[in-house]
Amino acid sequence: MAKISFKPGNMLYPLPAVMVSVAGQDGKTNIITIAWAGTICTNPPMASISVRPSRYSHHMIMETGEFVINLTTADLAYATDYCGVRSGRDVDKWKEAKLTPVKSDIVRAPYIAESPVNIECRVVETKQLGSHDLFLAEVVAVHVDDQYMDEKGSFHLEQTRPIVYSHGAYYDMGKKLGKFGYSVRKKS
């Protein structure tokens, strides 16, 4: 198998496609779809998002230092795409995407009721890196949909049919291939 040299660029795909809800100082809210989101740290729990300064939501995050990461599902794929291609300057994404804002416990930004997981975040550092600003944030609250909890108190995200983004397309996640450590477990 031959390798072809490719132009430098970010080829780290697939990525989670998340809807990030924000609120400005004036009380206006918006939703932005982001594929550049990630986990930073377990203790304290931290996450990150990267946002272009030209995006309507950017100034709201800068004003309040808060946002909510809302995980997406196959059922939310249309809304996820819509919130990524329309600007909150021009449309009310909540209304047009038929999403329900819910008052968060700690941050000003509402979370999305239809999302199975909502992660309230407070920015601790902003890094201006070029095309995007990186917001490093502490997770201050998490909400999960109880219909995906089992009798032992475990949450089953896989049952929500989470989606990912890869090279301009959204994908439903496939079947489970193994559990962490399965490559070294003794066979029964």
**For each of the chain's 188 residues, which pLDDT tens digit applies?**
899 898 888 888 999 999 999 999 999 999 999 999 999 999 999 999 999 999 999 999 999 999 999 999 999 999 999 999 999 999 999 999 999 999 999 999 999 999 999 999 999 999 999 999 999 999 999 999 999 999 999 999 999 999 999 999 999 987 777 888 888 888 77
pTM: 0.93
Domain assignment of residue 79, yes or no:
yes
Q: What per-residue confidence (pLDDT) applies to 1?
A: 87
Q: Is residue 52 part of a domain?
A: yes
For residue 185, being part of any structural domain is answered with no
Burial of 184 (0-12, 13-18, 19+ CB in 10 A): exposed
8 A C-beta contact, residue 122 and residue 140: yes
Please tell me the predicted confidence (pLDDT) of residue 178.
82
pLDDT, position 180: 84
| pLDDT value for 183 | 82
Q: What is the CATH number of the domain that holds 166?
A: 2.30.110.10
Distances (CA, A) of 2 to 5, 7, 77, 167: 10, 16, 35, 22
Please give the C-alpha separations between residue 70 and each of 26, 30, 36, 73, 126, in angstroms, as whole numbers. Answer: 22, 13, 13, 10, 20
Residue 6 within any structural domain of the chain: no
Look at residue 153 in the predicted model and tell me its pLDDT: 93
In a domain, 10, yes or no: no
Please give the residue range of the domain that contains residue 106.
15-172
Structure tokens belonging to residue 158: 């896989």
Q: In whole angstroms, how far apart are CA 108 and each of 66, 76, 184? A: 7, 23, 45
The per-residue pLDDT for 177 is 75
Task: Please say whether the dihedral angle defined by the alpha carbons of residues 5, 174, 71 and 122, taken in this order, is positive or negative.
Answer: negative
What local confidence, expressed as pLDDT, does residue 186 receive?
A: 80
The answer to whether residue 8 is domain-embedded is: no
Let me know if residue 65 belongs to a domain: yes
How many distinct structural domains can be found in the chain?
A: 1
- Which helix (DSSP H) or strand (DSSP E) does residue 25 occupy? none
Domain contains 186: no
Please check whether residue 29 is in contact with residue 21, taking contact to mean a CB–CB distance below 8 angstroms. Answer: yes
Report how far Cα 97 is from the mean position of its chain's Cα atoms.
16
- The reported pLDDT for the residue numbered 75 is 96
